[in-house]
Structure 1
Amino acid sequence: MKIMKRILLIALILVAGYIIVDIGRYFVYPDITSLKKSRPAKTAFMEHREEQWLKKGIKKKIKNSWVPLSRISPYLLKAVIIAEDDKFWSHEGFDFEAMQKALEKDIKKKKFQAGGSTISQQLAKNLYLSPSKNPVRKIKEAILTWRLEQNLTKRRIIELYLNVAELGDGIFGIEAAALNHYGKHAAELSPREAATLASILPNPRRYTPDGNSRYVENQSERIYQIMVRRGIVIPEFDEVINETQSENDIDVEDQKIKDKEKPEGS
């Protein structure tokens, strides 16, 4: 009996030691300072998706195109912050009020869903961790979030996030999402398009901007109306811009038809 207790005690000590070392290494690894100037080649989330496809025998490639913050629609930037982390510019990586509310919801549902994450926390998870939801991963995420906030500017954090966030099955980053869903560059996104893309961030593989989801419709409208109330969007001006874009699209299509109808050599 004593031998079994000793074995059990040693096993517990070894497990505890492994967990401590596994968590503790994130205080020094990976090299976050390199993100000040360099862009990540491939994130942990991208690798996770590729592993899923490989297991299922799906031949698919990650879609991702890097763009600087200056080439991303300011409407998109505002919409994402409203949707995901409205206190982004003022907090130091954690929104404790949002975390408390999420925890209360988890207790009521008797599920650990780990909501209330800030953009900084989501970036840490996307870059270095798996999508799994467990307390150990959340501790790692907290350490990495603290290091991101200590080493990078807010501008750099949001730039990285917008370039690596998942916005569709295998679609990462706002440029790839804008091209895939709207056939335009991230800089050209309208307020409505920006609000719609921001609304799918919580579950980009379930929701799509071009679907018939009531959630996407309601959430995108909520984000858009907040932008209107804050003076980010002037509805009348937005309508004029959309009408002009539609007219330009029609003109381009008409020109293409005329070009096709021209006899050769003319």
Structure 2
Amino acid sequence: MRWIAYLVKCLLAGFVAMQVYYAVQIGLWISVDPSSTAFQRAERWRLCSWHWTCSVQSKWTPYDKISNNLKRAVLVSEDDIFFQHKGVRVEDMQKAWQKNQQQNQQKPQAGAKSKAVLRGGSTITQQLAKNLFLSSEQNYFRKGQELIITGLLELTLSKQRLFEIYLNSVEWGEGIFGIGAASEHYYATTPAGLDLDQAAALASALPAPKCFDKEQYCRKARIHFPTRQEFILENMGRVALAPIAQPKSSSKTAK
């Protein structure tokens, strides 16, 4: 039994060391911009392998140089109360879990492989945690690690910094990462120059960016971009770009 106890201790030590690595890395990002993400590196390897030259595009843009149109559009598309929650929307996660339970209980069609899938319910911080450190593989262990990293991100970085890193690292098409590369690729403009329609179009792409960029990736994507774009345009005015200040309580009684 000693070897089992030793193995458990080694696994626990490895797990703790990994969390410390994540915490240190996140701490550096208070003032240093991430050079790449785990998802970017995986895509670079998929597209370019050992080639020195690669079509992967990425261009960092400071937060204040990104159009507010784009910021609002992304919030509507991905996480409309990002600046109000603490990293996780429990109700949305419960709905996503119930949806996946129902899906997994359905009988698979002939020749189809059954597969447990986690989808939906992720906040911008959770998406960022996955993109920065984890793979696109979907399972409950990865989801648990994602939640730990989400907590570290929320504890260490400001909401504005989290949003800045997200906008500069999220995928916007095959080999296109960050709003700097996306605005140049699709509209030959800078992130500051994006108008309402352009911002809404780019935000509508986020659930299926490869499909938005290339039709060959649309077989598995169930999304109608014009409808989503219209929804985003209609709701951009209601989202906040900063935490909503809570009114201060006063002990004085109004006369």
* TM class by smaller structure: 0.7 to 0.9
Which of the numbers 134, 155, 164 marks the counterpart of 2:160? 155
**How far apart are the structure 2 equivalents of 1:72 and 1:87?**
19
**Alignment-derived partner of residue 175 in structure 1:** 180
Extract unaligned runs of 5+ from structure 1. 1-5, 233-266
2:118 aligned with 1:113: yes
What letter corresponds to residue 166 of structure 1 in structure 2? E
The Cα offsets for residues 21-64 of structure 1, whole Å up to 9 and x where unpaired, read as 45433431132111011011111111100221245989633201
| 1:90, distance to aligned residue in structure 2 (A) | 1.0
**How far apart are the structure 2 equivalents of 1:222 and 1:19?**
47
Question: CA 1:122/1:60 → structure 2, altered by over 3 Å: closer, same or farther?
Answer: same
**How far apart are the structure 2 equivalents of 1:100 and 1:71?**
36
2:227 aligned with 1:218: yes
How many residues of Structure 1 are paired with residues of Structure 2 in the alignment? 223
Please provide the CA RMSD for this pair. Answer: 2.8
Which of the numbers 72, 76, 93 marks the counterpart of 1:78? 72
Which runs of structure 1 show a deviation greater than 6 angstroms over 4 or more consecutive aligned residues?
9-13, 56-59, 209-214
Which of the numbers 17, 31, 35 marks the counterpart of 1:37? 31
| 1:210, distance to aligned residue in structure 2 (A) | 10
Deviates more, 1:188-197 or 1:54-63: 54-63
| 1:18, distance to aligned residue in structure 2 (A) | 6.2
Query: Contact 2:73–2:232 (CA<8 Å) still a contact in 1?
Result: yes
TM-score normalized by the length of structure 2: 0.78
Deviates more, 1:169-178 or 1:105-114: 105-114
TM-score normalized by the length of structure 1: 0.75
Larger Rg: 1
Question: CA 1:141/1:162 → structure 2, altered by over 3 Å: closer, same or farther?
Answer: same
Deviates more, 1:46-55 or 1:180-189: 46-55
The Cα offsets for residues 116-161 of structure 1, whole Å up to 9 and x where unpaired, read as 1111111111111111111121111111110110011000000000
More helix by proportion, 1 or 2? 1
Query: Contact 1:181–1:210 (CA<8 Å) still a contact in 2?
Result: no
